Amino acid sequence: MAKKNFLFGLFSLLVLLGCNHNPVASFTFEVKEDGEVVFVNSSENSKSFQWEFGDGTFDVASNPTHKFSANGKYDVKLTATNGKGSHSSVVTLNLDNVAAANYVFWTKHSNYLPVEIYIDGALQGNIRKSFSSALDCFAPGALTVSTTPGNHRFRARGRNGSEWTEIELEFVKGDCKYLSLNRTGLSKFSRNFA
């Protein structure tokens, strides 16, 4: 009987010691199409999880799939927790496969240059060259703004006090829209590049 109690006590001690380890958070990921990322949790000694994706969103699933809405760098943080404490791991994800929504801004009138372009109140850059006709996205001298799809507020300011009043522009995923800054206002058109 003493041998049985000794073995039971030894087994109980081993179980308790095994459960008393600190958690260790770790994970890998696989980037899929158009901003989708599958996260594989390889944490040890953990009972619960908290994911922070670096874009303001969270998840508590063990192995979440998350869709990012824009290209960029994201510090993804996993916190693993058990009764003994918690541990975090952070990995920087460089995402470049989200189909962007683009607008190219240009003008025919060199007397406006340079023209500052603002989207949602933030300076995006300058138009530095005039063009005689429409051009492709990312043409040197024009300004192409890539951002998340949706409606964004646009305004512009050029040399000699020229200004274009604030308007709302719709950025469409997979489209390259054009906005020409004229003497009389603005001319809009788009081309699908997907």
Global pTM reads 0.55
Tens of pLDDT, residue by residue over 7-29, are 455 444 444 444 579 999 999 99
Tens of pLDDT, residue by residue over 136-161, are 788 888 899 988 889 999 999 998 88
Tens of pLDDT, residue by residue over 26-65, are 999 999 998 999 999 999 999 999 999 999 999 999 999 9
Contacts of 61 by beta carbon, 8 Å cutoff, 6+ apart: 49, 51
Q: For residues 80 and 52, is the Cβ–Cβ distance under 8 A? A: no
Region for 181 from its dihedrals, namely left if φ exceeds 0, alpha if ψ lies in -120 to 50, beta otherwise:
beta
List, in sequence order, every beta strand (DSSP E) within 53-194: 58-59, 65-67, 72-82, 85-95, 101-106, 115-119, 122-127, 143-147, 150-157, 163-171, 175-181, 186-192
Q: Put the strands of the sheet holding 58-59 in their side by side order.
A: 58-59, 48-52, 72-82, 85-95
- Distance, in Å, from the CA atom of 20 to the CA atom of 132, rounded to the nearest integer, reads 73
- Distance, in Å, from the CA atom of 40 to the CA atom of 84, rounded to the nearest integer, reads 23
CA 70 to chain centre: 4
Pairing of strands 115-119, 72-82: unpaired
Tens of pLDDT, residue by residue over 65-92, are 999 987 889 999 999 999 999 999 999 9
- Domains of the chain in start order, with CATH, are 23-95 (2.60.40.10), 101-192 (2.60.40)
Length of the chain, please? Answer: 194
Tens of pLDDT, residue by residue over 95-152, are 988 887 889 999 998 999 999 999 999 999 999 999 988 777 888 888 999 888 899 9
